[in-house]
């Protein structure tokens, strides 16, 4: 009887050791990856099922122990290989500049795309269209301070470079303007003398110009100018515009330092013609810009 009880206790002890040995690793991994909530602290530890991609035969305790121990070891490793991650960036750079599969390097293809885009943008900027900013009220009300407008450069190559009356043109200042502005403003005159200007063409070569009694006369005809801020309070002329020259005035006639003060503008100084305002949004359009 005593021998039977001892044998029963021995078998029970072996069974308990086998259960603890086979199932403890599951709980250890579970606790390492994600600690159990406080509500489960007193619960009896239950074996977690194996991952779906490593199905095992039920009761294969040795395999369970080995695989779970491997999982525990793997869980202590950082994601990825340090050597691979450290060399991934240089490898990508090398691959970017190296040809693959008998094709040119990716860098060369990108350079062609970006280089072509830049070349087209520069061509448009210097030969076709460029933006300009209005810094003063000399052309008010057509342009206000802060307006941004587009200036086209193609038309200056037509009609021998001679714009039409009422065109709004952007131009480099002539020598007489540079001399006067430098003498009038000792501090910033030198800088201002190099900045492009914007005015309206009122007369072209061969025209006779006269300003009197608040009216502009071109070839003895009074001009209708609905775009000016107010009638001029000064008198000018009569003068005849020389060949290859223009007379330009600001729409804000009494607050514009223009051709009535510094004379005629050589047509070679013209940069382009203003065609529309694109900023601010509430001023978008090309009103009074023929």
Q: Report the catalytic residues.
A: 138, 199
Query: Which residue do the tokens 């489960």 mark?
Result: 40
244: left (phi over 0), alpha (psi -120 to 50) or beta: left
DSSP string, 205-245: TT-EEEEETTEEEETTEEPP-TT-SS--SS-EEEEEPPTTE
Structure token digits, residue 228:
């000016």
d(CA 173, CA 271): 10
d(CA 99, CA 106): 7
Cβ 284 vs Cβ 278: under 8 Å:
yes
């Amino acid at each position: 009887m005593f021998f039977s009880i001892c044998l029963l206790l021995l078998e029970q002890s072996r069974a308990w050791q086998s259960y603890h040995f086979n199932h403890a690793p599951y709980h250890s991994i579970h606790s390492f990856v994600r600690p159990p909530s406080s509500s489960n602290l007193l619960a009896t530890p239950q074996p977690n099922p194996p991952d779906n991609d490593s199905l095992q035969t039920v009761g294969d305790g040795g395999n369970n122990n080995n695989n779970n121990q491997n999982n525990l070891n793997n869980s202590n490793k950082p994601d990825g290989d340090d050597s691979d991650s450290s060399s991934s960036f240089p490898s990508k750079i090398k691959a970017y500049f190296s040809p693959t599969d008998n094709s040119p390097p990716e860098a060369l293809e990108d350079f062609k795309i970006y280089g072509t885009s830049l070349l087209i943008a520069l061509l448009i900027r210097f030969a076709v269209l460029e933006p300009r900013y209005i810094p003063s009220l000399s052309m008010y009300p057509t342009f206000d301070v802060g307006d941004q407008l587009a200036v086209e450069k193609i038309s200056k190559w037509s009609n021998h470079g001679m714009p039409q009356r009422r065109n709004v043109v952007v131009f480099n200042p002539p020598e007489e303007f540079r001399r006067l502005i430098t003498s009038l403003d000792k501090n910033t005159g030198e800088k201002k003398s190099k900045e492009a200007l914007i005015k309206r063409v009122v007369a072209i070569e061969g025209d006779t110009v006269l300003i009197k009694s608040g009216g502009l006369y071109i070839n003895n005809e009074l001009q209708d100018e609905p775009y000016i801020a107010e009638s001029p309070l000064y008198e000018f002329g009569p003068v005849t515009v020389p060949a290859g020259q223009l007379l330009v005035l600001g729409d804000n006639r009494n607050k514009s330092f223009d051709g009535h003060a510094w004379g005629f503008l050589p047509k070679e100084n013209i940069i382009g013609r203003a065609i529309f305002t694109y900023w601010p949004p509430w001023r978008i359009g090309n009103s009074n810009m023929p």
